[in-house]
Structure 1
Amino acid sequence: MTWSSEDFAGLAERAAKGAGFPEESARTFGRAAAVHLARGGRPDAIAEALRDPADSPILRLPLLMRDVMRAAKIAGPSVALSVLPADRALAPDYAELLPVALRDVTVMDASAGGPARLSAIVTEEPPTDSAALPALEVPESLVETLDRLANRALPAAEAARDAAP
Structure 2
Amino acid sequence: MTWSFDAFAGLAARAATAAGFPDDRAQTFGRAAAVHMARGGDSGAIAEALRDPADSPILRLPLLMHDLMRAAQISGPSVALSVLPADRALAPDYAELLPVTLRDVTIRSGTEKGPAQLRATVTEDVAEEPDAKGIDVPDDLVETLSRLAEREQDAPAAP
TM range (shorter): over 0.9
Number of the residue aligned with 1:99: 99
Number of the residue aligned with 1:38: 38
Number of the residue aligned with 1:159: 157
Q: How does 1:1-165 map to 2 (within 5 A)?
A: 1-130=1-130, 132-156=131-155, 159-160=157-158, 163=159
Q: Find the aligned partners of 1:57 and 1:36 in 2 and give their Cα distance.
A: 13
- Deviation of 1:65 (Å): 0.6
Q: Find the aligned partners of 2:117 and 2:82 in 1 and give their Cα distance.
A: 4
AA of the residue aligned to 2:70: R
Partner of 1:124, secondary structure, is strand
Q: Find the aligned partners of 2:127 and 2:80 in 1 and give their Cα distance.
A: 19
- Quick check: 1:38–1:133 contact (8 Å CA) kept in 2? no
Please state which structure has a larger fraction of its residues in helix. Answer: 1
AA of the residue aligned to 1:111: T
Q: Find the aligned partners of 2:132 and 2:6 in 1 and give their Cα distance.
A: 8
Note the residue ranges of structure 2 that are not aligned, 5 or more in a row: none
- Deviation of 1:128 (Å): 1.3
- Moved beyond 4 Å, runs of 4+: none
What TM-score, normalized by structure 2, do the two folds share? Answer: 0.96
Aligned alpha-carbon RMSD (Å):
1.1
Deviation readout 1:30-76 (Å, 9 max, x if unpaired): 00000000111101100000000000000000001100000000000
- Deviation of 1:146 (Å): 0.2
AA of the residue aligned to 1:98: L
- Deviation of 1:159 (Å): 1.1
Partner of 1:146, secondary structure, is helix
Q: Percent identity at matched positions?
A: 69
- Deviation of 1:152 (Å): 1.3
- Deviation of 1:155 (Å): 2.9
Please state which structure has a larger fraction of its residues in strand. Answer: 2
- Quick check: 1:35–1:133 contact (8 Å CA) kept in 2? no
- Quick check: 1:57–1:86 contact (8 Å CA) kept in 2? yes
What TM-score, normalized by structure 1, do the two folds share? Answer: 0.93
- Deviation of 1:19 (Å): 0.3
Q: Find the aligned partners of 2:138 and 2:61 in 1 and give their Cα distance.
A: 24
- Deviation of 1:113 (Å): 3.7
